[in-house]
Structures are given as structure tokens and as C-alpha cells.
A and B are shown apart, each in its own frame.
Chain A
């Protein structure tokens, strides 16, 4: 895949506890092409954030990348020196978090936070202030000259998220990883942020977006291609229309049925019984088998691997291997 901007191969990232190991990312392969919006969708605890943080190695001390490659423009981020990596983080790849306050400094003015980020990656420039104002304008913040002097707490949740996106954009990255960027926001504000992200991807040629969400609606609206994650693994990969028209993996099918039963009138409500498994001791074989209505003996015995099924890929024993 030569046109890949990011190519992740067989990535494993574990959290080490005092007595247990959480296999949060377990043999995940994914790619993002130039200009593409790629989604990772999955329920709480499936390892989405863990995957995102692994990609730029923004990991807590108890986490370790156990194996795999993260290829970006000819470099393997999984083994890159921390100093080298720092140049890539924020400049080539930036991240937008669910809670802006995990990133914004509450005691620092908005303008200063953005200038700091710009000068860190571009060095001191004389037109710094102009650049800062431009970056706020680019994310549709009204009266940016005023907002420069605000502290984070003076902004609403939606505005803070815009500032975060402005910071992420300020260094003209080629990839933005957005982890649930709108989950904490009201729907109308979420709508505004989604519109903003769509416009940015459309306008900035080559900008790619890796969007992490548990909301199939957001996926349907935003993504070109989607990875479905379950219990630390990718269980399906598909372009967005195939995913919604012909979901292959029973988990994807069940998720979609559940979502549809809520969003479209007249459908019988159907959920999935059970819970996302504990990743310290995941089920044997296919990790979805305890909740799967099609489970067969082999499903608890052997782990299925991702195989091509039409234009999609899924890891499920229902599909015969060619």
C-alpha cells in the first residue's frame, strides 16, 4: 500500500498492572491514506483510545508497545527515538481529545497556548500573532482577536473543542487523530464541530482524519472507511457504504441493528446481551463468541483472522476461507 500515509501492522500494546496484563491493543493492523477520513468504531473499553495513543506513543508509564510497526512516511514510529517522535507529534500528526481540558492549560490564555504550539514547530516567526488569529478564524471562532485573551474556562465546551482543533491544525499536520471529539457536546454543537471537520478535510488537500467514535451516526456522516473494534481487535474493515449496507461480522450487524432500532421508527428494539469482555482475560477463540447468536464450536476454539469478503474484510468463522 504505497499511498498510505499511515500503515499500522500487527500492533500490540499492553497495560501492565501489578498482577494483570490488559491486552488493550491486540494485533491491530490499519492504514490511513492521504485525504481519507477513517473511522474506528467500537464500544466502551474496546481499545479505541489505547490504539490512538499508541500511534503517537502518548502512553502512560504502565503501557508498552509489545510488537508491531507504525509506518509513517518511511519511519517506524514504534521504534523511533523520543526526540525524533516529538518532532512528528503535533507537526505531522496531531491529536484532538474528547475532553479539551486534558490538553488545554487552565492557567494560560488561549492565544498564548496557540502561539506556543506554533513556535514549537515552526520556530519564532514575526507574524506569529497573525498566524494565531488566522488559526482561530479557520475553526470559525467568532471575534478571534478577543478570544486570544480568554482563559479556557471562559469558553463553552464547543468553543474549547474548536480551540483544540485550531491547535491541532496550527502546524499543518498531515494527519489528525480525533478521539471522540464531539462525545461530550450537545447535538447541535456536535453538528457544528462535525461540519467544521468536514470542511477542513475538504479544503486542506491531503489532510487525513482518523476519527474515533462509538457513534455509528457520526461514522455514517463522516467516514470514508471504517474499522470496527471489539475487545482489542479489529473485527471488520469496510468502506462506509458496505459497512452499513452489508455488515459482515455478527458484532457489526448487531450494533447496526441496535442503532437502527433506536433511530428508525417501527423497528423492534434489539440490543446485544452481555458486555464487552474483560481484557485481562478475554474469551478464547473469537472474543465475540459469548455474545454471538451464530456461535459454533470452532468459535470458542480458534481465533478467526481477517479475510476478504467481497470488498470488506472480517474476522469470523461464518465465512469460508477460500
Chain B
């Protein structure tokens, strides 16, 4: 076991979706969903991945848990390249990494009860007998605060509210004691009053179990409440990466700044004073330009931005930005 390896390391990952995959198609055009992403995540911490719709967050999250093969690049988990694992090793990796899907409707089978959903992991991995698995399911429901558990065990998804469904999805994700949970927009579809409770629960579980979260969201502020590090994604690339406080205090990429300025804050004194300067429309994700991808919307762009692509650079200690003219 290599002690120095981080829990998760994403190395130069790309995912292209070719257009018109017909046999006779001569077109090489492709959607650049993820276009050269490198990241590290340490044990017990949370990395928040923020970006707008279509920026590639879900694609990256699914690559990390091995659900999608990248076009290029590799994903190392505890020092092992996950796509090279086979058989037993691959099977055991599945207990260490879990994903909570963006849409709770999609992550729970409508025809299976909560009991089925929560006992299945133990039975599938032959870690418990049926009655032991039942007991574990009961305990999991307690952990996600769906109590008393007997009230929920035999319900079907449609008999649960959105927040309750998400709690069941969290319970399933932590069932086998994973080291990493990729949570894809875990609270986006929830009402404000329920959002905070689910985030709080995720925090508690993290401190109890010591696991890491790869938390995907389009809401920068929501990410702040739970992440140690924040990565901002734009058009398939990480454009800024820093510790959460640093990122909020000194946002350096114009897009990060735009995100901060755009989010209406629940305080009239602040919200009424916002000034926004993001203009224009994003480039198409199909064959994006070979210069700065934010240039079509950037209020600060200069000639250089239309000639070459900037690269991620460290502008302060542990603060990385992909911009020729960081703010």
C-alpha cells in the first residue's frame, strides 16, 4: 500500500462524445464533455465541483466511479488505476466508491421497497445473512434520521417525499462503508427547508465515518457550506481550484466572479446592491474553440484570450486559475 497516494487522483481525463456515430460518418465532430481535467481528493475531505448546466460535472462524476470510460486519461483510487481492475478487485472497489445520482427518481427503482434497496448491497456482496442485512438496513435508516425505521422499511419510493428519497439514497450509498461518495446534485431538487437538513446530515455522516465527498452542484453557495476545496468547471475544464474560503474571498477567474455575483443572496441589503457584468452566450460544447472558452462571455477579454487557451496555473499557494488575466 502506497501511503503517499491520495485517495483519489484524476489525471488529464477527457471524455468526448462523437456526433453521428454512423458507419459512413466522416464527421470527426464531438461534444467535449470533459476536456482535460486533473484533480486530487484526500481522505475525509469534501471537494465541491461547481459549474453550469452542461459543463461536464455529471460526466466527470461518473467517470470517477467507473461508470463511464474516459476517452483519455486515468483515475487512480488509493493508488490503483480503476479502469485496469478486473474481477474481484473491481468488485471490491464498488464497495469503496458510491454515487448518489442527480435525480432521486432515477436512483431508486420504483418497484423496490426501502428494505430491498438497503439490504441488497449486503446480500449482493455476501456480507450478511438476510436477517443481519435487515438489521443493518434498520440501523442505516436511523443514521439518515428516517425514524422510526419500521415506518419506512416497507415503503416504495412514491410513498416518500423528495427529501426522504434522498435520505434513502444516502443510506444506500453509505451502506458498505465507502471511502468516497460522489454526490451529484444531492439537494438541488429539494425544497429550501429540506435542503439544509440533508446537507447537515451529510456533514454528520462524514464526521462519523471519515469518508470523502465529491460533491457536484451548480450552486456555489451551497457548495461552500460543506466543501473544503472548490473546483469551478466551465465547458469541460477546471477553471479555478482553491480552498473554499480562499475562493470566496479572492475569486480570480472571471467566471467564478460572475457566479458569485449572479447568485441572489437571501438578504435584501446585499442582493439589491449586486452588479453583474456577464454578457453573451456560451460556446457550443461541440468542437469548442482552441482559445479561451469563456471569452464569449468575459467582460475582461483581450486579444490574447482569442489566440490561445490558458492553462491552470498556481497564482497563490494552492490557488489555481486558468486565465491569462486573473483578477
Contact = CB atoms under 8 A, between A and B. Distances in A.
Interface of A: 43-44, 142, 156, 158-159, 186-192, 194-195, 214-222, 240-241, 244, 254-256, 258-263, 265, 269-273, 275-276
B262 A262 contact: no
B191 A187 contact: no
Given A217-B263, A217-B271, A256-B266, A262 B191 contact: no
B266 A217 contact: yes
Contacts of A188: 52, 255, 258-259, 262, 276, 278, 297
B39 interface: no
A269 B266 contact: no
B100 interface: no
Nearest to A256: B266
B137 to A, nearest CB: 22
Given A188-B259, A241-B268, A269 B194 contact: no
Contacts of B192: 43, 214-216, 255, 258-259
B151 to A, nearest CB: 13
B296 to A, nearest CB: 11
Contact of B266 (A44, A190, A241, A244): A244
A156 B281 contact: yes
A263 B195 CA distance: 12
A271 B281 CA distance: 36
15 contacts: A44-B162, A142-B280, A186-B53, A187-B218, A187-B262, A191-B258, A217-B271, A220-B266, A220-B270, A240-B268, A263-B221, A263-B266, A265-B224, A265-B248, A271-B195
A219 B270 CA distance: 12
A190 B199 CA distance: 24
The dominant DSSP class at the B interface is: helix
B200 interface: yes
Given A195-B276, A270-B200, A187 B263 contact: yes
Interface string B236-267: 00000000010010000001001101111111
B108 interface: no
B225 interface: yes
A276 to B, nearest CB: 7
B163 interface: yes
A220 B270 CA distance: 8
Contacts of B191: 43-44, 214, 276
Nearest to B219: A187
B193 A258 contact: yes
A79 B266 CA distance: 38
A261 B198 CA distance: 12
Nearest to B160: A275
B95 interface: no
B193 A244 contact: no
Given A217-B263, A258-B192, A260-B266, A269 B218 contact: no
B276 A216 contact: no
B274 interface: yes
Interface in B203-243: 203, 218-222, 224-225
Contacts of B263: 187, 191, 217
A245 to B, nearest CB: 9
Contact of B272 (A44, A156, A220, A254): A220
A263 B271 CA distance: 12
Contacts of B199: 262, 269
Contacts of B220: 187
B266 A261 contact: no
B52 A221 contact: no
B259 A187 contact: yes
B276 A262 contact: no
Contacts of A263: 221, 265-267
Nearest to B55: A186
B262 A244 contact: no
Nearest to A254: B193
Given A195-B276, A271-B197, A275-B164, 7 more contacts: A187-B220, A191-B262, A192-B276, A259-B192, A259-B196, A265-B224, A269-B203
B264 A221 contact: yes
B197 A273 contact: yes
A270 B262 CA distance: 24
B200 A271 contact: yes
A194 B264 contact: yes
B244 to A, nearest CB: 9
A125 B15 CA distance: 53
B161 interface: yes
A276 B194 CA distance: 10
Contacts of A221: 264-265, 268, 271-272, 274
Contact of B225 (A244, A262, A272, A273): A262
Given A218-B264, A262-B195, A191 B276 contact: yes
B275 to A, nearest CB: 9
Given A191-B276, A221-B272, A273-B197, A262 B264 contact: no
B218 A186 contact: yes
A276 B203 CA distance: 24
A255 B225 contact: no
Nearest to B222: A262
A262 B196 contact: yes
Contacts of B258: 188, 191
A226 to B, nearest CB: 10
